Structure 1
Amino acid sequence: MNNETTPLLRNHAKEKLANGETVYSMTVRLVRTVDIASIAYTAGFDSIYIDMEHSSFSLEAAGQICMACNHLGVTPLVRVPGLDPALIARVMDSGAMGIIVPGVESAAQARALVRAVKHAPLGERSLAGAAPQLNYRTYPPADVVRVLDESSMVVAMIESQTGLDAVEEIAAVDGLDMVLVGANDLSVGLGIAGQMDHPKVHDAYLRVIKACQANGVSVGIGGLGGWPDLIRQYLELGAGYVSTGNDITFLSAAATQKRQQFA
């Protein structure tokens, strides 16, 4: 393909969210090989997110899985441990279609996240050249910047009272695509660890949904994989992205169920 051809790149999860459709995601913490991409695809997931915060995942393994997902139309996001622009750039340059940052607590942090993911003028990320998301084909730099930035997702997690108090300002940050509620850490911070049906958690979700709807930002549900009724409730109220659980819990649950068949 010559340099004059305009690159095409689709983020299927981002498109579904824009169309008001629900995106179902699985978290990857255990499996280090590309097989997990095919498993996610066959199981019907729209997206995965690789958890580099709570695992020993290497950048190399994450990048390989991201590339496999891209070929299958399963949107790969990566949760990094924190707001580290150098790591975020390397993750994106390895094939990710978006970045999730945990524990965002201010609009300033959200703007820093956008700058780390996006190129100028919205961000400050360095242009790496041929991108794995574009199958390493060579295109004019302006086209590469445009399609990478249009297709990438910037996701801020709300996991504390401080973050919740600032959610209206966070949701208003230009370039932010989604606010993902991390109900596990949030419940701990609110002094109600694990009580996902507590009114404080419910009020937190309502506040995030209201703030995001006011700014045209998607809402993600996290930490409620074991509470399907709550997930359905928040989807009806306007959330769009569901983190259903991780590969460790999926494998453990299936293994336990299989063993109990022979009890």
Structure 2
Amino acid sequence: DLYVLVTTANNPDIMMPAFDDSAYYVIFFVAFLVICFFIYMNIILAVIYNNYRKHLKNEVRKTVFSKRQQLSKAFEILAIKSEGQKVITRSRFVQLMKLLDSKKNPAFINVMWIVLDCDGSDCLEKREFLKLADLLNVEVSEVVDRTTFIGHYLPSIYYSKPSRVLCRIVKHKLFQIFFDFLTLVNAVVIGISTSQSNWDDAAEWFFLSFFLLEILLKLYVLGFRRFFRRMWNLTGESSFP
């Protein structure tokens, strides 16, 4: 029963008979629980973790050894003799990468080659080729060029100091909040306007001018691709009166 108490499954049922007999039994139960929770359970967890760590190390060693064995066999198949030693040429390496993944970006393959070819000999020795397994495990994210049309063709204008200030303003959260509020006001104006209202045309041109200005500023700062990828830019501007 005391062993079950360590799991608190029979707590406090097991304590009640002892408490009815004497209140001093609380000292025993408190000491027992403290020893079990903070010493005994920690020892058990330490033993379990230590065994798991040893098992994990062995599994990692086996995996690494197996990968190196397979890569060694692949090297012997792909390698050609050049100046008395076996090497893998760049063309064979590219073919191998395309066989592994036909959709792999050529730029990524080129980066892998540069990393593996440490000595810049334009061929891979066995020790260099064996690093391929570790390199394939590295996650690589492709960065998309976000340069806008104006930034690409007119960099002197786009990257000028006034333009950078304008970009910071447009990208600021308050800029979006302002035009969101303006959209809300526009919706209210549409709701309260009537056919007899004389200010409809003025309000229409007022909101149209501001929303058109927002579109032009966002196109300038974000570019066409980033602008049209944001769904709000496609739907938020449809509230013209």
TM-score by length of 1: 0.19
Comparing both structures, which one devotes a greater share of its residues to helix? 2
Q: Which structure has the higher relative contact order (CA within 8 Å, separation 6+)?
A: 1
Larger Rg: 2
Comparing both structures, which one devotes a greater share of its residues to strand? 1
